[in-house]
Amino acid sequence: MHDRPLVLVGITGGIALYKTCTLIRLLMNNGCDVQVVATPEAFEFVGRTTFESLTGHPVFVDVHSSVAFQGHVELSKKADLFVIAPATRNILAKLAHGITDNALTLVYSNVTCPVVCAPAMHTHMWESYENQENIKVLTKKGVFFLSPQHGALTSGDVGVGRMQEPDAIFSYVRQLLDVASSWSNKKILITAGGTREPIDPIRYIGNSSTGLFGVEIALEASRRGADVTLIACNIDSSLLMRLSSKVTVFSASTTRELKDLVDRSMPHSDVIFMAAAVSDYRVINTSDVKNKKNGTNIFLELTENPDILKGLARTYKGKKLLIGFAAETGDNIYSSFEYAQKKAKNKGVDFIVFNEVGSHKGFGHGDTSVHVINDEGKVVMNADGEKKDIACELASFITPYINEVMR
């Protein structure tokens, strides 16, 4: 983050553009450097000179004006935040589908900073199926939306579609800029997904973890400006594609491969979120060839895998922040919560993020419900909802603890 944050303001062809002039003023008066990136249609509503006078910079609109100035690359690298206001239905469709036919879409395709959209359009366009699907795609990619408001529209109709007011957009941007720098000097290691232990060259023992929660934590950590490393255990590539290119991704399949990568990454990390579902056992009598059916039973001999987190706790407790995850079920002796509580006390880590397995939440679902338990077995945070929102709450909760171990 620069001392004077560089905010790219993306402008498109909508009448709400007249309000964007006020937004730019607010940003500049509050210590931001602003650079405008436009679609050609924007100038049908407000002239280019207005934006150049307000910001003191040329507007980036013509991709082919200079070979030397690769605007989309240079601006994307320098930007601390990209706010598109107004965002038309057309631009949302282009961004959602990866179309890069003008300066604004090119910049979007290259930025790694947070992106905010403030849409403006007629109610029917806003509510249409295609538009709502495009918003879902962009939200999954981590784009923030300031939903349009209800009120009088240019057509004379009244309904949802008005772009939010400049001061609301400014406050939101200001908050995001504060958050975007909150982990800027922190190195975060995250493990996600589920390990697999081979039985033969084709079969394995595994679990149904998708890695979604770990990926949401990685997204949140990079949004906060951290240096993020994700160790992905058998995660679908479409999920990993949501991460920005700034996140370092390693792959591990078995528990031992994961341990090796964790042990090598840990000395350079301040925090570990051990969200991977790790196989506690591996097969000893693996076969080099596929086990064939022959009418008899096959016996697998299992041996215990090393407990990666427990090992880390022995070396790093008090020096780094260690966060474990526990998906638990209860039995007739203890409840799932009591098992998680025991884990929190015995593992030697700072926190255990506990979630109950068996409901329609947790493994493989977008929603979950978690209780964060400290090393004394006390619940210190509860959260319920979408994993991306819980990742954000978890990040806010642990921020003071990271600062403490880094002191």
Q: Which residues bind ligand C5P (CB under 6 A)?
A: 255, 274, 276, 278, 280, 305, 307-309, 324-326, 343
Minimum distance, C-beta of residue 342 to ligand C5P, in the bound complex (Å):
10
Minimum distance, C-beta of residue 381 to ligand C5P, in the bound complex (Å):
16
Minimum distance, C-beta of residue 266 to ligand C5P, in the bound complex (Å):
12
Which residue lies nearer to ligand C5P by CB, 104 or 312? 312
Give, to the nearest 10 degrees, the angle between helix 48-55 and helix 17-29. Answer: 10
Minimum distance, C-beta of residue 275 to ligand C5P, in the bound complex (Å):
7
Which residue lies nearer to ligand C5P by CB, 36 or 309? 309
Which residue lies nearer to ligand C5P by CB, 35 or 279? 279
Which residue lies nearer to ligand C5P by CB, 80 or 356? 356
Which residue lies nearer to ligand C5P by CB, 58 or 348? 348
Minimum distance, C-beta of residue 323 to ligand C5P, in the bound complex (Å):
8
Which residue lies nearer to ligand C5P by CB, 193 or 225? 193
Q: What gap in Å lies between CA 158 and CA 122, rounded to an integer?
A: 9
Which residue lies nearer to ligand C5P by CB, 195 or 222? 195
| 109 within 8 A of 143, measured Cβ to Cβ | no
Which residue lies nearer to ligand C5P by CB, 137 or 357? 357
Q: What gap in Å lies between CA 363 and CA 39, rounded to an integer?
A: 42
Q: What gap in Å lies between CA 245 and CA 107, rounded to an integer?
A: 15
Minimum distance, C-beta of residue 386 to ligand C5P, in the bound complex (Å):
21
Which residue lies nearer to ligand C5P by CB, 82 or 325? 325
For 307, other C-beta atoms within 10 Å of its C-beta total 15
Omega before 267 cis (within 30°)?
A: no
Q: Amino acid letter at 230?
A: L
Q: What are the C-alpha distances in Å from 17 to residues 29, 118, 305? A: 19, 11, 59
Q: What are the C-alpha distances in Å from 297 to residues 59, 202, 285, 294, 389? A: 72, 18, 14, 8, 47
- Beta-carbon contacts of 211 under 8 Å, excluding residues fewer than 6 positions away, are 192, 193, 194, 232, 233, 234, 235, 236, 239, 275, 276
Minimum distance, C-beta of residue 382 to ligand C5P, in the bound complex (Å):
19
Minimum distance, C-beta of residue 326 to ligand C5P, in the bound complex (Å):
5
For 265, other C-beta atoms within 10 Å of its C-beta total 17
Q: C-alpha angle with apex 240: 235 to 246, nearest 5 degrees?
A: 135
Minimum distance, C-beta of residue 235 to ligand C5P, in the bound complex (Å):
14
Q: C-alpha angle with apex 356: 354 to 357, nearest 5 degrees?
A: 125
Identify the CA nearest to 163 among candidates 352, 290, 12, 348. Answer: 12
| 240 within 8 A of 249, measured Cβ to Cβ | yes
